[in-house]
Amino acid sequence: MNDYSGRYPAARPRRLRQSNWVRRLVRETQLSRDDLIWAMVVHDGAEDEIPVAAMPGVARLSVAAAAKAAKQAEKLGIPAIAVFPHIDARKKDTSGKEALNPNGLVCTAVRAMKDAAPDVGIMVDVALDPFTDHGHDGLLKDGRIVNDETVAVLVEQALVQVGAGADIVAPSDMMDGRVGAIRAGLDAAGFQDTLIMSYAAKYASAFYGPYREAIGSGKLGSGATKNPGDKRTYQMDSGNTDEALREVAMDIAEGADLLLVKPGLPYLDIVRRVKDAFALPTYAFQVSGEYAMLMAAAKNGWIDEERAIMETLLSFKRAGADGIVTYFAPRAAALLGA
Ligand code: PBG
């Protein structure tokens, strides 16, 4: 055990902080480019970039621009990209069937990105919300999100995405049993090497707000009648931590390779508990609202933008995360240098 009996004045902790070289020497946690998964939004239009107002510095990219960005990720040393689609509203319907289109936006983008940068890992979300007109992650029947019917569709969605070349499928929907079903579906189709990153502990959070603008999913509860106005019947309640361990344990038993906790900063305690309990590769998602919050304060001159970005990213590592899904990935990688 550490001996903490050292007493002032013989012991002076400030000795170890007196200059940059010694601070570097004793720093316990490091952030590296290897820790970054770039959260990237793509759209099916022609413009290269359409800025997302609530996320200054983030734009929806066309497929061509996304392919270029994949090359940029390679140059910056970013190991993987997570793709999120913004599709034309006319392609959305109640069942989200566009999610199963092998020539839809996600598959097209994945193919273009893998072509441009074969060595960059491509991760895709498995969930229906970018494709449903009601904005829910699952199928909506009589005002309820139906579990098992949704899972069957998610398996098909994953197969279509992996067929296009996705390396990691990341179910973000929080239906029960979806990891096992997707694993079985992938294995039966010969994709036993495809990784599953489970959004294992995903909370019903206010911090996904700007993402709805980014992917153009309408306000929940609008439109159809009997449409729940939030995702609380499937995403977790913010007050719970034991439940996160149960969700993670089930996903591991079902075949999850990598675990994701989401959102990030408000849930660092969950990252720590999950890492300590299971010792599996564990990631945190610094979500859209966290990005927006940092940038809003920085744009007002209230915090130092670069320092705040790097400090939050390091905090995930300190909490035990092996990496971070973040919209800041290209900036952070550039700041970290070669
Ligand atoms: C959808 C999904 C969401 C995010 C990633 N996948 C939103 C939600 O669950 O409501 C959030 C990403 C972000 O806020 O940056 N299943």
Q: Counting atoms of ligand 1 from 1, which one is nearest the CA of 327?
A: 15
Residue 215 φ then ψ, to 5°: -100, 0
CA distances 60 to 39, 45, 57, 190, 210, Å, are: 11, 10, 10, 33, 13
Two tokens at 238?
């913010």
Pairing of strands 144-146, 139-141: antiparallel
Are the C-beta atoms of residues 108 and 102 closer than 8 Å to each other? no
Residue tagged 């074969």 (tokens): 118
- Structure tokens that stand for 64 in this block: 């061509």
Superfamily of chain region 35-336: Aldolase class I (3.20.20.70)
pTM for this prediction: 0.96
Three-state secondary-structure class, residue 303: coil
- Report the atom number in ligand 1 closest to the C-alpha of 291: 15
262 is catalytic: yes
- Catalytic position from the list 202, 231, 275, 317: 202
- Going from the Cα of 211 to the center of ligand 1, the distance in angstroms, rounded, reads 6
Largest CA distance in the chain: 72
For ligand 1, which residues put their CB under 6 angstroms from it? 125, 127, 129, 137, 172-173, 208, 211, 231, 287-288
Distance CA 54, CA 30 (A): 30
pLDDT tens series, the chain, 338 aa: 566 678 999 999 999 999 999 999 999 999 999 999 999 999 999 999 999 999 999 999 999 999 999 999 999 999 999 999 999 999 999 999 999 999 999 999 999 999 999 999 999 999 999 999 999 999 999 999 999 999 999 999 999 999 999 999 999 999 999 999 999 999 999 999 999 999 999 999 999 999 999 999 877 875 555 788 899 999 999 999 999 999 999 999 999 999 999 999 999 999 999 999 999 999 999 999 999 999 999 999 999 999 999 999 999 999 999 999 999 999 999 999 86
Q: How many angstroms is it from 270 CA to the middle of ligand 1?
A: 18
d(CA 160, CA 164): 6
Residue corresponding to tokens 């995405």: 161
The enclosing H or E element of 36 equals: strand 36-43
Beta strands (DSSP E) in the chain are: 36-43, 49-51, 59-61, 80-86, 121-126, 139-141, 144-146, 168-171, 195-202, 258-262, 282-286, 323-326
Catalytic residue at 299? Answer: no
> Which atom in ligand 1 lies closest to the alpha carbon of residue 209?
14
Kindly write down the DSSP assignment for every residue of 109-173, as one continuous string: HHHHHHHH-TTSEEEEEE-STTTBTT--SSEEETTEEEHHHHHHHHHHHHHHHHHTT-SEEEE-S
For the chain, what are the domain ranges? 35-336
Tell how far the Cα of 201 is from the centroid of ligand 1, in angstroms: 13
Q: What is the pLDDT of residues 285-323, one digit of tens each?
A: 999 999 999 999 999 999 999 999 999 999 999 999 999
